[in-house]
Amino acid sequence: MPNIKSAKKRVLVSAERNARNKAAKSDLKTAIKKFEAAAAEGNRTEADGAYKVAVKKVDQAVSKGILHKNNAAHKKSAMTLKLNKV
């Protein structure tokens, strides 16, 4: 643990942000996995709902700085192609 007061605060704040980012990233991965499962199953209505949720989570991750915008565009494009194949 650091001795300087500002360094102590940085450790606490960074741990809090790390936990928040980890939770958001986990939520994103879960939404994408649910879409992948629905698409693999071939259920169009379930895949449509999961797609909308997953795209929303990807956009939120970009706005929070968890994903880069190009990475998000790549993920959304891949999901759209899979949805269209169902």
| Count of other CB atoms within 10 angstroms of residue 61 | 22
Give the pLDDT of residue 1: 79
Give the pLDDT of residue 26: 97
pLDDT digit string (tens) for the chain, length 86 residues: 799 999 999 999 999 999 999 999 999 999 999 999 999 999 899 999 999 999 999 999 999 999 999 999 999 999 999 999 98
For the CA atoms of 81, 82, 84, 86, what is the dihedral angle to 10 degrees?
170
Give the pLDDT of residue 40: 94
- pTM of structure: 0.86
Domains and their CATH numbers in the chain: 5-85 (1.20.58.110)
Cα–Cα dist 55/28, whole Å: 9
